Amino acid sequence: MSDSNRERDLVLAPNEFAFISDQTKGNINVYVGPYKTSLANTDKPVIFDADTKKFERSNLDNSLQTFTTAPEGWYVVMKNPSQDGTQPQNGTVNNLTALNVGRKVNIPGPINFALWPGQMVKVLRGHNLRSNQYLAVRVYDEEEARQNWTKAVIKTKNSTEAKDGEEDKEGGEGSDTDLTNLEEMPDLTMGKMLIIKGDAVSFYIPPTGIEVVRGVNGNYVREAVTLERLEYCILLDEDGNKRYIQGPAVVFPEPTEEFVYRNGSRKFRAIELNEMSGLYIKVIAPYEENGTSFKEGEELFVTGNEQMIYYPRPEHAIIKYGQKERHYAIAIPAGEGRYYLNRKTGKVSLKKGPVMFLPDPREAVFVKRVLDPKQVKLWFPGNSEALEYNRQLKQELDRRKSNEGYLEISAEPAAAAMEAEELADEIPMPAPRRKKKEKVSKEMAGDEFTREQTFTPPRTITLDTKYDGAVTINLWTGYAILVVSKTGQRKVIAGPQTYLLEYDESLEPITLSTGTPKTSDNTITTVYLRVLHNKISDIVKAESSDFTQVSITISYRVNFEEESDKWFNVENYVKFLTDHMRSFIRNVVKKHTIMDFYANGIDILRNSILGQAGENNKRPGRVFEENNMRIYDIEVLDIRLSDVSIENLLISAQQEVVKQTLRIDAEKRKLEFTQQSEEINQQIASTKSDTTQKQFDLEKKESKKELEVILAKLDMEIQSKQRQLEANLAEQDSLTQIKDAELARKQKEEELVLEIAQKELHQELELLRAEVQAVVNKAEAVSPNLIAALQAFADKSLAEKMAKSMSPLAILGGKSVAQVFTNMLKGTKLANVLESSLNGMEDDVVDEEDED
């Protein structure tokens, strides 16, 4: 029974409270600690569910709740505040008070309190703002916002501490949608959005009636856009207008504005232009710049020559072809070219290199030229790639003609080499993380027109094209072509060079006979004429004067010279040459016998066809005036007879001559071998003798060199000893001079000392003479008796003192000191005085002994 009572005991510690429902009346009381009570059976603990807005029963332990606490710098957002503005008192039971249901208040910390049943709170940290951060706040209660406007906790950049209701007196003017100007109350209409900028306010707690709106990412504090140089951002307003802001700047949006994102970035890089790139722009709104007015609908092409760095503006829209924004110049190397169409006149022109060509897209469009298979085979023989490419272009052209019934032109304003950079710019990047340096998009953002890469009727046509460039004919050395235009003009182009065909030009073909011998049955068609060192082979059958048939295999060397306009006058110059030369050679052979012609046929033919050699050993050759073709040389490759027996006889005779010639050559070679062998042996012996003599000469030279070395060593030793003796002799003279100098110096020093001593002695003698003279003068003034008395008195006194002082000596010698001293002064007056004193002292000693 006691355990059940303890289970009904409600014990609340400080900072705790509980809701207890009275089941008999339906009231809910608030028990606030520190407090202890026993609950009745009708008292049930409950808790308030903020989601369902209902009170749910709970056990006693789970019903305990802690106070709502907001420290300094925090605030509490409370829903359903009490009408009297009080909270439950501590340490007692509080009956339910009337609440303003549906109202919401903001209470700044520090604060600590219990809740009334039905109240809901949210504790939030005060909003700290950096200079590039801001808050978006909304007025949810117009009346409360006006009344509590001065109760907001605001710390401005120029204040030293946070104060309720204080404003920054130095703040600049601001709009009615931000709190940059804190001196005036903004428009606080219900639902009005306000912006609190971090460059003016560093800390903010909203007053009642105003709430902070979360951003898209769920944070209260929003990041402004920090723009560096060459960066810009775009703000889109609810009315559809855009605002472009260039860096460096910190950009805060207006409440009705939002940042334009592109590939996850809010800021974009300005477009860098140069002389070889440009932007195709459509004017979508009239404006004026630098005194120039621009009307709506105008098209501009801005290159680096006019503006090196381009920032978009609201009146501009970029015209894009596909995904390309910038138009790049294309590199046309030397010897190449591009066809381009003037959209206004319809004229197709050729631009030749070397040049960097940047066409104005408002006027010029690149075109391609398609060649039919017959032209490809003639102009580019063996080039299967060109044949396949033109075949595909032709099929595409036929398909479009059948489907659309019109011709189309390909518009490619940028070089293919630049497409890689453009595609790299189109790769979407991940969204940037907050509180870190934002990614800068390389993509141009702003209004734009997207157009198809090909024109649509009725403005354009499709032309036959080949690749992207003009049709290029590469002429090798020794070749020529005949170019014919649709206007009837013709010209011959000789290599080596590269020729670019105009759009209406084509190549004139020629026919050539092939095979050996040359016939009209087997021919080829080409546009290339070999004009230098052309080689034409043929077989000519002729008959000699003795009616012997002969077959001649011959090769002609041909050049085309002088006037090039005649080169293509003969359609098949090979057949023309061989027919003429066959008739000529038959006539020449008919004038000679077979023996003569078989032995000298090559010379006969060369002299007849090429003419006799002149002074410079050059032959004039044979010229064809019809096409300025000249045979400058021939090669007779073979001469054969139709009668085999006659040919064998001629061969046998020639073989016999060859054998005899070979025998003579063999004997000559044997003689030459013997002569050369002996000559070599002689040279060997002579060389060995020369080697032995050179060895003796070398040994002789070595002996002479060794003798010279020994003599040189002896000379060096003699010279060394001689120099040492001379040095010792020279040293003795020097020592003698040094010794003499030292003796002279000592002599001078002794003489100086002696002179000084003599001067001092002379001074002492003079002093003694003066003293003696003074004593004599004094003695003459004293009587003899006085002198005797003084002398006696002094002698006696001196004797006594000497006796006392020398008493230890008397002990050591067995005599008294007085006796010793008396002996020393024997013969003087002082000795008499000492003897009398000594006798007196002995008498005194005797008297003392007697008394003892």
Strand-pairing partners, residue 125, are 74
Per-residue model confidence as pLDDT tens digits over 503-516:
888 888 989 998 88
699 pLDDT more than 80:
yes
Distance CA 134, CA 117 (A): 36
Mean pLDDT value across residues 205-229: 92
Backbone dihedral angles phi then psi of residue 378, each to the nearest 5 degrees: -75, -45
Classify residue 395 as exposed, middle or buried by CB count within 10 Å of its CB (0-12, 13-18, 19+): exposed
The torsion defined by the Cα of 668, 670, 675 and 681, in degrees rounded to 10, comes to 160
Q: What is the pLDDT of residue 760?
A: 87
Identify the DSSP state of 258.
E
Distance CA 544, CA 553 (A): 16
Q: Helices 784-805 and 817-824, interaxial angle, to 10°? A: 130
Instruction: Kindly give the pairing relationship between strand 448-451 and strand 316-321.
Output: parallel
601 pLDDT more than 50:
yes
pLDDT band at 847 (very low <50, low <70, confident <90, very high): low
Q: What is the pLDDT of residue 161?
A: 40
Distance CA 537, CA 785 (A): 182
pLDDT band at 796 (very low <50, low <70, confident <90, very high): low
Backbone dihedral angles phi then psi of residue 51, each to the nearest 5 degrees: -80, -50
Q: Of 401-410, 549-558, 620-629, give the lowest mean pLDDT range.
A: 401-410
Strand-pairing partners, residue 352, are 337
Distance CA 340, CA 470 (A): 9
> Which secondary structure element, helix H or strand E, spans residue 339, and what is its range?
strand 337-342
Instruction: Kindly give the pairing relationship between strand 127-128 and strand 111-113.
Output: unpaired
Q: What is the pLDDT of residue 171?
A: 35
Collect all residues with Cβ–Cβ distance below 8 Å to 610 and sequence separation of at least 6: 619, 620, 621, 622, 631, 632, 633, 634
Of the candidates 253, 264, 509, 261, the residue with the CA atom closest to the CA atom of residue 379: 509
Distance CA 261, CA 429 (A): 11
Collect all residues with Cβ–Cβ distance below 8 Å to 142 and sequence separation of at least 6: 188, 189, 190, 209
Distance CA 840, CA 836 (A): 6
Q: Of 268-282, 463-477, 549-563, give the lowest mean pLDDT range.
A: 463-477
713 pLDDT more than 60:
yes
Cα 296 to the center of its chain, rounded Å: 44
561 pLDDT more than 80:
yes
Identify the DSSP state of 270.
P
164 pLDDT more than 60:
no
Distance CA 215, CA 137 (A): 11
Name the 3-class secondary structure at 532: coil
Tokens for 345? Answer: 């006149």
The torsion defined by the Cα of 401, 406, 409 and 411, in degrees rounded to 10, comes to -100
Mean pLDDT value across residues 705-713: 89
Q: What is the pLDDT of residue 657?
A: 72
What's at 266, amino acid-wise? R
> Which secondary structure element, helix H or strand E, spans residue 340, and what is its range?
strand 337-342
Q: What is the pLDDT of residue 826?
A: 67
Q: What is the pLDDT of residue 472?
A: 83
Q: Which residue has the higher pLDDT, 812 or 610?
A: 610
Q: Which residue has the higher pLDDT, 476 or 822?
A: 476
846 pLDDT more than 60:
no
CB-CB contact of 206 with 167 (8 Å): no
CA atoms lying within 13 Å on the CB side of residue 455: 23
Q: Of 167-176, 544-553, 712-721, give the lowest mean pLDDT range.
A: 167-176
527 pLDDT more than 50:
yes
pLDDT band at 295 (very low <50, low <70, confident <90, very high): very high
Largest CA distance in the chain: 207
Distance CA 688, CA 692 (A): 6
Q: What is the pLDDT of residue 456?
A: 44
- Could you check whether the bond before residue 784 is cis, i.e. omega within 30 degrees of 0? no
Mean pLDDT value across residues 155-172: 49
CB-CB contact of 598 with 650 (8 Å): yes
Of the candidates 560, 557, 555, the residue with the CA atom closest to the CA atom of residue 534: 557
Q: Of 609-623, 744-758, 764-778, 782-796, give the lowest mean pLDDT range.
A: 782-796
> Which secondary structure element, helix H or strand E, spans residue 112, and what is its range?
strand 111-113
Per-residue model confidence as pLDDT tens digits over 366-387:
887 888 888 887 888 877 887 8
* Angular region, 341: left φ>0, alpha ψ -120 to 50, beta rest: beta
> Is the entire prediction scored with pTM above 0.85?
no
CB-CB contact of 492 with 470 (8 Å): no
Average pLDDT, the chain: 81
Sign of CA dihedral 300, 303, 305, 308: positive
Mean pLDDT value across residues 680-690: 89
Sign of CA dihedral 39, 44, 49, 50: negative
53 pLDDT more than 80:
yes
Distance CA 144, CA 588 (A): 130
DSSP string, 308-330: SEE---TTEEEEEETTB-EEE-E
Distance CA 132, CA 486 (A): 70
Size of the chain, expressed as the number of residues it contains: 852
761 pLDDT more than 70:
yes
Q: Where are the beta strands (DSSP E) in 544-643?
A: 549-560, 622-624, 629-641
What's at 361, amino acid-wise? P
Backbone dihedral angles phi then psi of residue 700, each to the nearest 5 degrees: -60, -45
Classify residue 459 as exposed, middle or buried by CB count within 10 Å of its CB (0-12, 13-18, 19+): exposed
Of the candidates 466, 288, 286, 282, the residue with the CA atom closest to the CA atom of residue 387: 466
Mean pLDDT value across residues 180-185: 60
Tokens for 287? Answer: 């404006």
Name the 3-class secondary structure at 846: helix
Distance CA 540, CA 587 (A): 11
Mean pLDDT value across residues 395-418: 52
115 pLDDT more than 90:
yes
Mean pLDDT value across residues 274-283: 91
Name the 3-class secondary structure at 434: coil
